[in-house]
C-alpha cells in the first residue's frame, strides 16, 4: 500500500469516528461552495463564455437614438422607414436581419394560447447558426414583401403544444385568422439571444411582413421599441466606424422626411452599435457582483468557521500527534497527515457543492431568467468542475496550514513526556479573540445588509397600491380574423362582449378599460395655445373604471356613460400631470392635443397611483376609445371566471376576436411585477438565515474549542466554589470584548461602505435602518451569549471532576 | 473530644459501561477530625484521587453517606456543593491549576470572589497578603504564574486554598510535578500549616511524604487496607 493510500485510509478511519465533525464540515462547505460555484458559473456564462453563435464578437444590435436639439436623449427606438432604409442600404454588415417582438394568440389550438412571436427576416437564423430538429429556417421566398405565410416553432412549443408530433411539418397554425404553414422546428439546443429584455423568450417565428406594427410602415415620426436591427459586422470595420457610417445614412433620409413636422424640429438620429454580449448582459453586472459579494462573504464566514473546527480537531488529535512525533514523525509528516484529512473532507464537500450548484442552476432557471441574462445556459461544465477542484484544493491547503500552525512540535514531545496532565496545545487568547471578532464582524455586516435588503423589498411588496385589485379580473382581446373589423364593427363587437360579460352569472361589473398594471402607452401631448409638449402615459377607460379600482377624484368629474357612447374628446388626468399643467391653478378645463386637430378637454383630476416597483408617479391621462379591446371585470363573491369561459363567451359574440391575455385575478399581475422583489426577498431572507446559522456554528465552534481548552481553568474555578452562573458570566465577560470589537469593526466597515458607495446605496440607506442595525446587534448579542453558554453546559451541569479530568 | 470535620460512611463509587461495572471505591468508612494530617496512599489506580474527589465534592459517590462538619452533603445540588467547597474546602492540585492569565494576587483572591459573603476589596487584599505571607510569597504578589518556579506555583496554590479559611485542605499529589527541593519546601509549608491547626487530607504515592503525615491511610483496590490511628466510623 502506498504511503498516500495508507494516509488516505487512516484519515478516512479517523474521520469515521467523528461523524458530527464530518457532517459540520461537509454540510457547511458543501452548501456555501455550492452557492459560490453556482454564482461563479453564472459569472463565467455572463462575462467569459462566448455566445453560442458563429463569430459572436461580430454580432451587433443597432440602436436608434433620438436626440433633442439640446443633445438630450429623447428615446431609443427605430421608426419603420429608417429601419428599412438601414436594412436595404447598409454596407458595413456582412449579413443583417430585422426582428419585431410581439405577442399573439394561436387561435387554431384548442387552448388558444398566447405566445411570444418574433417577426424576422430570413437572415436571422443564419446569423445565429440555428439548427433545426425538423424542417428549415426562413428562405428568400419568405423575405420582406413576399407575404409568404409560414412559421417556425421553438422546440418548447413543439413539445408543449404539439406533443413532439413528428408530422408537424404538414400542419398549419392560425394567428389573427391567417393560416401559417409550419416549416421548421428549432433544435432543443438553440439558445435565443435575449436582446429585447432578459427573460423574454420567443416561441414562434413568423416572416417580417406579418409584424403587428404595419400601421407604422410609412410613419417617419413614430417609433416602436419592438423593432430591432441586428447584423454581423464586417471584419475590418470597428463599431465606431460603423456608427459613423450608418448614422448619416439613416439620419439624412429621416431629416428629409420629417422636415415639415414641427414636433421633430431639431431632433436628430444617432445609430449606436452594441455587441450582442453587451446587450444581453446589459446592466446585470451590478446584480452579479452583489451576488458574488454575498456568496464570497458566505464562503468567507464558512471558511472562518471551518478554521475554528479544524483547530479544535487538531487539539483533539493532540495525543495521536504526540505518538506520531514520538515514533519519529517530522513536522512535514504531521502536515501531510492533516492535509490528507482536510483534502478528503474538502473532496467530499466539493461533491456536495456540485450537487448544490446543480440545484442552484434549477432554481436560477425557474426564478431568475428575467433578472439575470444567460441563466438558461447554466449547467455543470468544465469551468464549474475546475473551480470545484481548485477551491477544494486551496481550502484543503488553507485548513491544513491553519491546523498545523497550532501544533507546537516541541510542545508535542514535552506533552508526551508529561503524560499530558494539565497541558496541551492551545490557540493563543489573541488568535481566539481575532477569530471571534472576525466572525462577529462578517456576520454583522451580512445580517444587516440581508435584513436591510429584505426590508427594502418587502416594503415594495407591501406598499399601498392606491387602488384595488381584489376580485378583479382582466381580459384583453386580439383580432383573430384575417380581415380586421371596421371601426364601427369593432365598437359594436366590443360593446356586445361587454354586455355578454355582464350577463355572465359570475360577473358583477365590467369596465371596458385598459389594465392598470400594463399596457400604458406613451404619448406626446401639447397644451393648446403653447408649444409646450408633455410626455405622458395613457390608457382608454370607461365610466366604471375609477369606481371599480377605487381610485379617488381630487377635482372635476368622471366621464359619463353618454361621454363614452359619444366618444367625447375628454380627458381625466392624474394629479402629477395636473400639477405640471397648472402649477398655480386648476387643470380642469385645460385644452390639449396630440399633435393633430382633435382638442381634448380635461374634465377631472384623480389621485395618482403607484404601480408596484415604480419609483415615482408618472404623468397620466385617461381617455375614451370604444375600440379598445380590454376589460376589467369585477366578480361576485365566491365566483370565478376562467380563461376558457371568457374565450367561449367572446366566441359567442364574434369570431373576429379572441382572448389575448386573461388574468383571473389581477393580483397575479401585481405578483408578476414583483417577481424580482420576491426573489430578492427570498434570497435576502435565506442569506440572513444561513449567515445566522454559519455565525452560530462559527462562534459555537471557537467558543466550544476555547471552553474545551480551558476546561482545567473552569474545573479549578468550580473546585474553589464558582457556581454555574459564575462560570457563565465569566465566560461572557471573557469573550464580550472580542464580540464588541467585532460589532465596532462591522459598524466602521458599514459606514465606509455607505459613504464609499453612497450613489449605489442611496435608495437603501436611511435613518429607518437604525432599528434594523439595532436588531442586527441584538441578534448577534443573543447569538454570542448563547454560544458562550452552550459549550459550558457539559461542565457546569456535571460534577466538577469531569472538567478537571477532561473526561467529557 | 475532637470534632469530626469529614465523615464518610460506606462510600462506594462504581463506573458502569455496557459490559462492565468497575468498583473504584468499596464501602469506605473514614472520619477526619479537626487538626488531623492524613495521608492517603496506595498504588496507582487504587482509588486515591477518586476518594479525594468525593471528599472535595468534586464528584459524587455511588453509595453511602458523606458529612462535612456533621452536615449531610451526599445529595447536594451542584450550586449547594459549590458553596460548601468554597466555604469549607481548600484544594491543592498536583498540577497547581493556577490560572495563567491572572496574577498571583488574583489567583489567590479567586475563592473570595465566589464567596457568599462577597467580601470587599480591602478585606480581600488583607486576606490574600496574609495567606501569601504564610507561604513566603508576598513579594511575588504581582507576578504571573509562569514567572514562578514550580515550587512557588504550588505555594501560591496553597495560599489560594487557605484564603477562604476552609475547614480542611484536600491535597492531591502536591509534589508530583516538583523537583525534590521544591517538593520539600511545599511539604514543609503543609507541615507548618497543620501545626498551626489546619486540617489536611493528602493523597500521595510517595512513602517519604506519606510518613510526614500524622496519620496514614492505605488504599488497595478501592478499599482501606490500613488506618491505624484514625477512627473508622462505625
Task: Name the domain count of chain B.
Answer: 1
Identify whether residues A639 and A558 lie together within a single domain.
yes
Q: Do A79 and A158 belong together in one domain?
A: yes
Domain membership of residue A377 (yes or no) is: yes
Averaged pLDDT for residues B128-137 = 91
Whether residues A482 and A563 share a domain: the answer is yes
C-alpha cell at B71: 452536615
Chain B residue with the nearest C-alpha to that of A797: B78
Closest by CA position to A127, among listed A142, A116, A137: A137
Assess A282–B contact: CB distance below 8 Å, yes or no.
no
Interface of B with A in 42-101 (CB under 8 A): 53, 56-60, 78-79, 82-83, 85-87, 90-91, 93-95, 97-99, 101
Domain boundary pick from A651, A673, A695: A673
Q: How far apart are CA A677 and CA A517, in angstroms?
A: 16
Its sign, for the CA torsion A423, A424, A430, A432, is negative
| Nearest Cβ partner for B99 among A713, A800, A801 | A713
| Residue owning grid cell 446605496 | A761
| Closest to B164 in 3D by CA, of B105, B115, B199, B213 | B115
> Are A325 and A416 contacting, i.e. CB atoms less than 8 angstroms apart?
yes
Q: Is the ipTM reported for this complex over the cut 0.90? A: no
Asked if residue A718 and residue A654 are part of one domain, the reply reads no
User: How far is B139 from chain A, CA to nearest CA, in Å?
Assistant: 24
At how many degrees (to 10) do helices A3-16 and A331-367 cross? 70
Cell of A585: 391653478
Q: Please report the DSSP string for A462-529 in residue order.
A: HS--SS--TTEEEEEEEE-SSSPPPHHHHHHHHHHHHHHHHHSTTEEEEE----SSS-PEEEEEEETT
Residue B159: domain span:
36-57+78-221
pLDDT level of residue B7 (50, 70, 90 thresholds)? very high
Tell me: do A637 and A687 sit in the same domain. no
Q: What is the pLDDT of residue A409?
A: 63
Largest CA distance in chain B: 56
Instruction: Check residue B234 and give its pLDDT.
Output: 36
Are both A24 and A78 inside the same structural domain?
no
Cα A208–Cα A214–Cα A218 angle in degrees, nearest 5 = 115
* Distance in angstroms (rounded) separating the CA atoms of residues A33 and A355: 10
Residue A651 falls inside a structural domain: yes
> How many angstroms separate the CA atoms of A314 and A599, rounded?
85
Place of cell 371568457: A646
> Domain boundary at A396, A425, A454, which?
A425
What residues make up the domain containing A413? 1-52+285-425
The full 3-state SS of A575-626, as one line of letters, equals: HHHHHHHCCCCCCCCCEEECCCCCEEEEEEEECCCCCCCCCCCCCEEEECCC
A313 is a domain residue: yes
Residue B10 lies in a domain: no
Q: Are A229 and A273 in contact (CB under 8 A)?
A: no
The CATH number for B143's domain is 3.40.50.300
- Tell me what pLDDT residue A643 has: 86
Q: Do A719 and B97 touch (CB under 8 A)?
A: yes
**Residue B92, SS3 per DSSP:** strand
Which residue does chain A place closest to B116, by CA atoms?
A721
In a domain, A443, yes or no: yes
Residue B169, domain member (yes or no): yes
Assess whether A83 and A231 both reside in one domain. Answer: yes
A716 contacts chain B (CB < 8 A)? yes
Instruction: Quote the pLDDT of residue A519.
Output: 63
| Average pLDDT of the residues in B127-137 | 91
Edge-to-edge strand ranges of the sheet holding B71-72: B21-33, B4-16, B63-68, B71-72
Q: Cell 495521536 belongs to which residue? A: A320
Q: A707 is written with which cell numbers?
A: 471552553
Co-location of A679 and A717 in the same domain: yes
| pLDDT means over runs of 10, chain A (808 residues) | 75 84 89 93 90 93 91 88 94 94 88 90 94 94 93 95 92 90 95 85 94 81 89 93 94 91 86 92 81 85 81 74 69 84 94 95 85 86 95 94 74 48 51 79 82 82 79 87 85 93 92 77 81 84 91 92 92 93 90 87 90 78 92 90 88 88 81 78 82 78 75 87 90 87 89 78 70 83 85 86 67
Q: Which long-range contacts (CB under 8 A, 24 or more apart) does A799-803 make?
A: A799/B53, A799/B58, A799/B59, A799/B60, A799/B78, A800/A715, A800/A718, A800/A719, A800/B57, A800/B58, A800/B59, A800/B85, A801/A715, A801/B53, A801/B58, A801/B59, A802/A715, A803/A711, A803/A712, A803/A714, A803/A715, A803/A718
Q: Which residues pair with B219 in a beta bridge?
A: B224
pLDDT of residue A517: 67
Residue A576 and residue A555: Cα distance in Å, rounded?
13
Q: How far is CA B100 from the centre of its chain?
A: 21
Report if residue B69 sits inside a domain: no
Q: Looking at the complex, does the CB of residue B114 fall below 8 Å from at least one CB of chain A?
A: yes
Last-in-domain residue among A621, A648, A673:
A673
Tell me the HSE value of A211 on the side-chain side, using a 13 A CA sphere: 24
Residue A727 to chain B, least CA–CA distance (Å): 10
Q: For residue A271, is it within any domain?
A: no
**3-state secondary structure (DSSP) of residue A148:** coil
Q: Is residue A279 part of a domain?
A: no
- Cα separation of A469 and A634, whole Å? 9
Give B171-203 pLDDT, tens digit per residue: 998 887 778 888 888 888 889 889 988 999 999
Q: Closest Cα of chain B to A422: distance in Å?
A: 6
Do A663 and A680 fall into the same domain?
A: no
The Cα of A412 is separated from the nearest Cα of chain B by a number of Å equal to: 18
Using CA atoms, how far apart are residues A61 and A102, in angstroms rounded to an integer?
18
Which of B225, B213, B155, B162 lies closest to B183, judged by CA? Answer: B155
**Which three cell numbers, joined as nine digits, stand for B220?**
488497595
Whether A62 is covered by a domain: the verdict is: no
- Angstrom CA distances, A418 to A380, A408, A454, stand at 53, 15, 56
Q: Residue length, chain A?
A: 808
CB contact under 8 A, A720 and B114: yes
Residues A233 and A92 in one domain: yes
Strands A630-635 and A521-527: unpaired
Does the beta carbon of A733 lie under 8 angstroms from any beta carbon of chain B?
no
- Say yes or no: A620 and A548 in one domain: yes
Write out chain A residues lying below 8 Å of B58, CB-based: 719, 799-801, 804
Residues present in chain B in total: 234
Report chain B residues whose CB lies below 8 A from the CB of A422. Answer: 95, 97
Among chain A residues, CA nearest to B161: A720
So what's the pLDDT on residue A204? 95
- Give me the pLDDT at residue A412, please: 56
The residue to which cell 397644451 is assigned: A527
How far apart (Å, rounded) are the C-alpha atoms in residues B234 and B224? 14
* Confidence at residue A760, expressed as pLDDT on a 0 to 100 scale: 67
Is A586 within the bounds of a domain?
yes
Residue B44 placed within a domain? yes
- Tell me the nearest-neighbour CA distance from A712 into chain B, angstroms: 7
> Does A419 share its domain with A433?
no
> Domain count of chain A?
4
Amino acid at each position: 500500500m502506498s504511503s498516500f493510500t495508507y494516509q488516505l485510509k487512516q484519515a478516512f478511519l479517523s474521520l469515521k469516528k467523528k461523524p458530527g465533525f464530518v457532517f459540520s464540515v461537509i454540510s457547511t462547505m458543501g452548501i456555501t461552495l455550492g452557492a459560490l460555484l453556482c454564482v461563479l458559473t453564472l459569472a463565467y456564462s455572463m462575462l467569459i463564455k462566448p455566445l453560442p453563435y458563429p463569430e459572436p464578437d461580430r454580432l451587433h444590435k443597432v440602436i436608434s437614438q433620438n436626440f433633442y436639439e439640446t443633445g438630450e436623449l429623447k428615446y431609443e427606438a427605430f421608426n419603420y422607414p429608417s429601419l428599412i432604409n438601414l436594412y436595404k442600404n447598409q454596407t458595413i454588415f456582412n449579413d443583417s436581419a430585422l426582428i419585431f417582438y410581439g405577442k399573439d394568440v394561436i387561435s387554431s389550438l384548442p387552448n388558444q394560447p398566447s405566445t411570444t412571436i418574433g417577426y424576422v427576416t430570413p437572415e436571422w437564423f443564419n446569423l445565429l447558426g440555428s439548427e433545426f430538429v425538423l424542417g428549415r429556417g426562413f428562405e428568400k421566398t419568405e423575405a420582406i414583401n413576399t407575404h409568404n405565410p409560414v412559421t417556425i416553432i421553438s422546440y418548447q412549443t413543439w413539445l408543449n403544444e404539439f406533443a413532439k408530433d413528428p408530422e408537424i411539418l404538414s400542419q398549419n397554425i392560425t394567428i389573427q385568422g391567417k393560416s401559417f404553414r409550419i416549416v421548421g422546428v428549432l433544435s432543443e439546443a438553440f439558445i435565443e439571444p435575449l436582446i429585447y429584455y432578459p427573460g423574454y423568450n420567443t416561441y414562434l417565428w413568423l416572416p417580417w411582413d406579418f409584424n403587428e406594427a404595419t400601421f407604422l410602415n410609412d410613419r417617419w415620426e413614430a417609433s416602436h421599441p419592438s423593432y430591432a436591427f441586428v447584423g454581423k459586422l464586417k471584419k475590418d470595420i470597428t463599431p465606431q466606424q460603423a456608427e459613423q457610417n450608418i448614422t448619416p445614412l439613416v439620419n439624412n433620409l429621416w431629416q428629409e422626411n420629417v422636415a415639415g413636422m414641427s414636433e421633430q424640429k431639431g431632433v436628430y438620429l444617432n445609430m449606436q452599435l452594441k455587441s450582442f454580449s453587451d446587450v444581453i448582459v446589459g446592466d446585470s453586472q451590478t446584480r452579479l457582483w452583489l451576488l458574488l459579494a454575498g456568496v464570497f462573504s458566505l464562503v468567507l464566514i464558512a471558511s472562518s468557521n471551518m478554521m475554528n473546527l479544524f483547530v479544535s480537531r487538531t487539539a483533539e488529535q493532540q495525543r495521536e500527534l504526540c505518538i506520531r512525533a514520538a515514533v519519529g514523525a517530522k513536522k512535514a509528516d504531521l502536515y501531510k497527515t492533516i492535509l490528507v484529512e482536510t483534502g478528503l473532507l474538502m473532496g467530499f464537500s466539493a461533491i456536495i457543492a456540485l450537487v448544490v450548484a446543480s440545484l442552484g442552476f434549477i432554481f436560477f432557471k425557474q426564478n431568475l431568467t428575467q433578472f439575470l441574462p444567460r441563466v438558461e445556459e447554466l449547467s455543470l461544465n468544465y469551468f464549474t468542475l475546475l473551480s470545484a477542484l481548485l477551491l477544494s484544493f486551496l481550502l484543503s491547503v488553507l485548513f491544513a496550514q491553519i491546523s498545523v500552525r497550532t501544533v507546537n512540535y516541541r510542545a508535542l514531545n514535552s506533552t508526551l513526556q508529561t503524560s499530558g496532565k494539565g497541558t496541551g496545545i492551545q490557540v493563543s487568547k489573541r488568535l481566539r479573540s481575532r477569530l471571534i471578532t472576525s466572525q462577529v464582524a462578517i456576520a454583522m455586516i451580512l445580517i444587516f445588509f440581508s435584513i436591510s435588503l429584505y426590508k427594502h423589498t418587502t416594503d415594495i411588496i407591501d406598499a399601498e397600491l392606491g387602488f384595488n385589485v381584489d376580485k378583479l379580473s382582466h381580459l384583453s382581446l386580439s383580432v383573430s380574423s384575417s380581415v380586421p373589423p371596421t371601426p364601427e364593427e369593432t365598437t359594436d363587437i366590443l360593446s356586445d362582449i361587454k354586455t355578454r360579460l355582464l350577463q355572465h352569472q359570475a360577473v358583477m361589473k365590467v369596465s371596458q378599460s385598459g389594465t392598470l398594471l400594463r399596457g400604458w402607452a406613451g404619448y406626446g401631448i401639447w397644451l393648446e395655445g403653447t408649444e409646450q409638449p408633455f410626455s405622458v402615459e395613457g390608457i382608454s377607460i370607461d365610466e366604471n373604471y375609477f369606481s371599480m379600482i377605487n381610485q379617488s377624484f381630487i377635482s372635476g368629474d368622471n366621464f359619463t356613460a353618454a361621454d363614452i357612447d359619444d366618444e367625447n374628446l375628454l380627458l381625466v388626468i392624474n394629479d402629477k400631470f395636473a400639477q405640471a399643467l397648472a402649477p398655480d391653478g386648476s387643470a380642469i378645463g385645460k385644452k390639449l392635443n396630440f399633435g393633430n386637430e382633435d382638442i381634448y378637454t380635461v374634465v377631472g383630476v384623480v389621485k395618482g397611483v403607484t404601480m408596484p416597483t415604480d419609483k415615482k408617479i408618472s404623468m397620466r391621462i385617461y381617455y375614451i376609445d370604444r375600440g379598445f379591446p380590454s376589460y376589467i371585470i369585477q366578480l361576485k363573491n365566491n365566483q370565478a371566471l376562467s380563461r376558457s369561459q371568457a374565450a367561449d363567451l367572446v366566441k359567442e359574440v364574434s369570431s373576429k376576436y379572441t382572448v389575448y391575455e386573461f388574468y383571473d385575478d389581477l393580483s397575479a399581475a401585481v405578483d408578476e411585477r414583483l417577481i424580482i422583489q420576491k426573489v430578492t426577498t427570498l434570497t435576502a431572507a435565506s442569506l440572513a438565515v444561513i449567515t445566522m446559522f454559519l455565525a452560530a456554528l462559527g462562534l459555537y465552534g471557537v467558543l466550544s474549542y476555547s471552553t474545551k481548552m480551558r476546561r482545567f481553568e473552569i474545573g479549578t474555578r468550580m473546585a474553589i466554589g464558582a457556581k454555574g452562573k459564575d462560570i457563565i458570566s465569566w465566560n461572557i465577560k471573557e469573550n464580550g470584548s472580542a464580540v464588541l470589537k467585532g460589532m465596532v469593526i462591522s459598524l466602521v466597515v458599514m459606514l465606509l461602505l455607505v459613504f464609499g458607495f453612497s450613489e449605489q446605496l442611496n435608495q437603501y440607506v436611511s435613518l429607518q435602518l437604525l432599528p434594523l442595525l439595532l436588531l442586527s446587534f441584538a441578534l448577534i448579542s443573543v447569538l454570542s451569549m448563547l454560544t458562550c453558554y452552550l459549550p459550558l453546559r457539559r461542565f457546569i451541569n456535571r460534577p466538577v471532576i469531569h472538567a478537571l479530568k477532561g473526561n467529557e | 473530644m475532637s470534632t469530626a470535620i469529614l465523615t464518610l460512611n460506606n462510600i462506594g463509587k462504581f463506573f458502569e459501561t455496557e459490559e462492565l461495572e468497575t468498583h473504584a471505591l468499596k464501602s469506605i468508612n473514614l472520619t477526619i477530625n479537626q487538626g488531623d494530617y492524613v495521608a492517603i496512599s496506595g498504588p496507582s489506580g487504587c482509588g486515591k484521587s477518586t476518594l479525594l474527589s468525593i471528599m472535595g465534592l468534586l464528584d459524587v459517590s455511588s453509595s453511602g453517606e458523606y458529612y462535612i462538619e456533621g452536615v449531610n452533603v451526599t445529595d447536594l445540588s451542584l450550586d449547594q456543593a459549590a458553596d460548601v467547597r468554597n466555604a469549607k474546602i481548600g484544594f491543592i492540585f498536583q498540577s497547581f491549576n493556577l490560572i495563567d492569565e491572572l496574577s498571583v494576587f488574583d489567583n489567590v483572591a479567586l475563592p473570595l470572589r465566589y464567596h457568599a459573603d462577597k467580601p470587599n476589596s480591602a478585606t480581600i487584599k488583607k486576606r490574600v497578603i496574609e495567606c501569601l505571607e504564610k507561604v513566603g510569597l508576598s513579594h511575588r504578589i504581582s507576578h504571573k504564574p509562569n514567572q514562578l518556579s514550580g515550587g512557588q506555583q504550588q505555594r501560591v496554590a496553597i495560599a489560594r486554598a487557605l484564603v477562604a479559611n476552609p475547614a480542611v485542605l484536600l491535597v492531591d499529589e502536591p509534589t508530583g510535578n516538583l523537583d525534590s527541593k521544591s517538593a520539600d519546601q511545599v511539604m514543609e509549608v503543609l507541615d507548618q500549616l497543620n501545626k498551626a491547626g489546619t486540617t489536611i487530607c493528602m493523597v500521595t504515592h510517595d512513602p517519604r511524604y506519606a510518613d510526614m503525615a500524622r496519620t496514614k491511610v492505605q488504599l488497595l483496590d478501592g478499599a482501606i487496607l490500613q488506618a491505624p490511628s484514625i477512627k473508622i466510623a462505625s
